[in-house]
Structure 1
Amino acid sequence: MTSTTDPLTPEHLSATTLLRFATAGSVDDGKSTLVGRLLHDSKSVLADQLEAVERASQVRGHSAPDLALLTDGLRAEREQGITIDVAYRYFATARRRFILADTPGHVQYTRNMVTGASTAELAVVLVDARNGVVEQTRRHAAVAALLRVPHVVLAVNKMDLVDYAEPVFAAIAREFIAYAASLGVPEVTAIPISALAGDNVVEPSAHMDWYGGPTVLEHLETVPVSHDLTDCPARFPVQYVIRPQSAEHPDYRGYAGRIASGMLRVGEQVTVLPSGATTTIAGLDALGRSVDTAWAPQSVTVLLADDIDVSRGDLIAPVATAPEVTQDIRATVCHLHERPLKVGERVLLKHGTRTVKAIVKALPYRIDLSHSLAHDNEPAQLDVNDIGAVVLRTAEPLPVDAYAESRLTGSFLLIDPADGTTLTAGMAGEPFAAQPAADEAADEGWDF
């Protein structure tokens, strides 16, 4: 038995306060400046980093340090004055640790937001107070909803350029919150800020006494975040089969991987998917020792009571809560590649630790993100940054959860089999209300 102070206990893990969050917004809305201000005013910038920013700012003709350069790390970004790649930053305050993903604002880099927000518990969507909610704002809100980000912050930036007017902020907040609600976003916190001047970023603004809510940092420090996956059904994707050649343990056969969710217990009856073979857990090894219980997100080795066929890509789950095994997957996707996705295209589907062949069976609809969220039914293709629905047929059965129930075992990637390029990010199930899909009878001519 482990004690309550053991670093392997769930109590220890839940006591670690970590927030993963992403920033998003249109070009020139001030995301990098906000992040720079957040890092600077929270005293999370090293002296040599600040000196480098000051030198770069002088080269660009600025009289004061351009805090946006703290995140715009690529030379091309600094030359153009825009964020191109996802910039990750790690910082901490006395109340919480943070992993921040500053994502690009230009429409051609929307796919990068999918990368940055895929593991985020909170998304900060910036809006220029002079421009209000624009198409790219709606697109970023839709991506946050698609990825099931539980908390969204609307940061109405550049309030100093609209004389800190409350009606301007209120109108933008009403429009965005209504749009987010139509997407199914459960929670939006609207905050008026000036990233350049520092209003309501770390310190409360002296110019907006009409606002009584939290600053950006205060909200980030206090928003409730749960990392407890132990209440979810257990999912263990097998990553590696261990067969040590040892005289002491000649029959050792362990299955190594990281628990995606839930808890595994010695003696528990489990099934190995997709084969459906059942057995019990005979042992669990974690950090070089035997344990009776293991939980997400621990990396462990599972030993099974019976000698059954288990290989990389299989999923071990409790018999009572095993996911559905299917070859027909319906999903909402964000297409990430310049090459369009079309019906009939052959791809590789990567789910967990398993990669199988698949065919795009149908494209039921594409979502119009500009205004109404209307469905463009049965489009000819999905282009880069498009969000829509797909129906896939896989060559082998897969154990797939709904993304709404598990962001880990409900997600997948579509990959070009020719060169390994990532084409599409998919979320099993349909977060947006779908119209009737294409005719199910189009199975003829399939190779599998």
Structure 2
Amino acid sequence: MNGADTAFVLISAALVMLMTPGLAFFYGGMVRVKSTLNMLMMSFVSLGIVSILWVLYGYSLTFGDDIGGGILGNLDHVGMAEITPDTLTGGDEGIPVLAFAAFQLMFAIITPALISGALADRVKFTAWALFIALWVTVVYFPVAHWVWGPEGFIGLNGDIKAIDFAGGTAVHINAGVAALAAVLVVGKRVGFKKDPMRPHNLPFVLLGAALLWFGWFGFNAGSELAADGVAATMLFNTQVATGAAVVGWLIYEKLRHGSVTMLGAASGAIAGLVAITPSGASVNAVGAVAIGIIAGVVCAWAVGLKYKLGYDDSLDVVGVHLVGGIVGTLAIGFFAIDDIGLFYGGGLEQLGRQAAGAGVVLVYTFVVTWLLAKGIDRLMGFRVSEDEELAGVDQSQHAESAYDYSGVGSAAAGAPATAAVGGQPTGTDRAAAAAEKRVDA
């Protein structure tokens, strides 16, 4: 066993696990008060559901020996059978398979959680939980095998030979196009394009973005599965591309809207992280900066498409993850060094491979996700009633609220309900009434 590489992968797995709670905060701050807990739970529950399925059959379907054609792994490792603490990835030298399996489990957990942002404010939690279980089974596990399996037909060992170092196709294009398919089935929120639906807690958004950025170093550099120069390159490129994307998004905002926003800066960071994920090990630092700026600008433009095209992607999963994933995947065909990319001595061959890999995932995931969401909608109804949506899914789905206002106003101060003079409400009464209005809103 290589102790240094094993320690590196174990730490990276922990970093990627932290990304899912980070995503919960990122999304949770972007919704309205009445949906905050539900948004947090839609990410958090994935940690439970996918962990169980990964042990039962997910790891085996994804990384088991191919059953033929690079389509799916076998079932030899159901229940993690034939894998012991001493089983190494490289035979006589490498890291424990359980370390690799734990690392890849974190990818499987966060991918369906990414989809949840598109469905904010309006879906049944039980339907969402069922969706996660079915979606990872029929979409994520097969697609991850295509890209990263030992003989997957999209990856470097398959027929297409597309480069996806850490998940541009398997994670971000996969989740982004699934989000689009799901929202087309579930439909728009009540008040879409009429009510402002502004984020209720931008500090939450920034906290979530920071946790995602931090965890993404494990996500990207850890995908090398070794503490070496490639991992160092990936970590460095992740940082500079993300910073460049923040700048690119803010420049677009300033030119297009006349101001720069905290939400834009956080969204730009995620766009940069998404775009560098497939490409970071194939480009130099200048290429990473270019990819970041392009992703920041293009994704900032793309988030407005939902208003023009009429699909209600609540938290811009399509605009950031789908578009950012496509930008990063195709960018390899232009910016990859070592005579691969068009700008560095290569021709159009690799660009064609990247487009083919992205195209296969786009078509398969969209069709299967649409059918899956439609089936769940017919079976149990995917979204809550209009009354429940207006009242807030926190109460209807969880019987909780994110913020307790019971201590606001006269009750907290021990003051009477009405003023002693003239029967007029006191200042504390007005504060309590305002708090109640905020809860209702």
TM class by smaller structure: under 0.3
TM-score by length of 2: 0.22
Q: Which has the higher strand share?
A: 1
Q: Which has the higher helix share?
A: 2
Instruction: Tell me which structure has the larger Cα radius of gyration.
Output: 1
Which of 1 and 2 has higher RCO (CA within 8 Å, sep 6+)? 2
